[in-house]
Amino acid sequence: MKLLRLWKQYDSIKAAVMLFALAVFLIGYCIHAAADYAVILQTPSEYICAMPDKYETLLPRLPQTEGIRAYSPQKTAELAQNDRTLNITLLSAAYLYDSYGIETDAHVIFANDAAFAAICGDNTDQSVQYRGMLNGKPFAAEIIRTDTIPDGQPYAVTAAAAADLRDGYELRICLDGSDPALLEQLGLRIMNPEVQVAAEYEKKLVLLRIRFAALSAALSCIAAGAFLWIYRNTWDGIRPNPCNRR
């Protein structure tokens, strides 16, 4: 092949081909990173806000606000069994379904791996029948291990009636990939700003990688073109001129 012969004869061709290959790789990376960025923009995020004084006035505006997937007052309760304790989050059944896609009632608790281990120990089953205390009162429920709720820190949820959540001091809101600034526009104060900071940092980091890869791809193409220019000029300089033949 002509390219293989040129590859063996000219270092400038080797450099040009490798730089073009690098540019193709970087362009592919940009496309992949752009897809990841689109996913980040559409990934729901949850924010805990202080319950506003005029919640009853704010309530009708929440379902009409674009970008809000679900909302619910929330409370916490302590689950205890022997020397093991776990704080569980009480939310409305509608919130649990709209945010996590789970259907439950007051006697079913959904827990991530960390929360399941905290209350059930080394049990490897996907669910256990639990008997213990909830806020100091006898309580029985099924605890189900699930990966549909946020992982990392221990987190367990169960459904509570609207009357039981009425005196909650916190409001949990799930945004459908929207800018959390809209919560501030509604007069809400975010109590877990670290979620907002982490989300913004992730977006900026992906954008920075895309820009760096795109710039590197452009520079690789320019450098490859320069090596091809060197090859052409060198080859033209040493190519015999047929006009000089006798």
111-170 pLDDT, tens per residue?
Answer: 999 999 998 888 888 889 988 888 888 989 999 999 999 888 899 999 998 888 888 889
- Domain parsing of the chain, residue ranges: 45-191, 192-235
Averaged pLDDT, 4-9: 55
Q: Is the pLDDT of residue 237 over 50?
A: no
Helix (H) or strand (E) holding 238: helix 193-238
DSSP-assigned letter for residue 80: E
DSSP-assigned letter for residue 140: E
The C-alpha atoms of residue 134 and residue 138 are separated, in whole angstroms, by 6
55-64, 106-115, 233-242 — which is least confidently predicted? Answer: 233-242
Who wins on pLDDT, 148 or 234?
148
- Terminal-to-terminal C-alpha distance of the chain: 32
**pLDDT in the model for residue 228:** 76
**pLDDT in the model for residue 246:** 47
DSSP-assigned letter for residue 149: S
**pLDDT in the model for residue 192:** 80
49-88 pLDDT, tens per residue?
Answer: 988 877 777 888 888 888 899 999 999 999 988 888 999 9
The percent of residues above 70 in pLDDT, for the chain, comes to: 89
**pLDDT in the model for residue 114:** 92
DSSP-assigned letter for residue 143: E
Helix (H) or strand (E) holding 98: helix 93-100
166-224 pLDDT, tens per residue?
Answer: 888 899 999 887 678 888 888 888 888 777 777 778 888 988 999 999 999 999 888 88
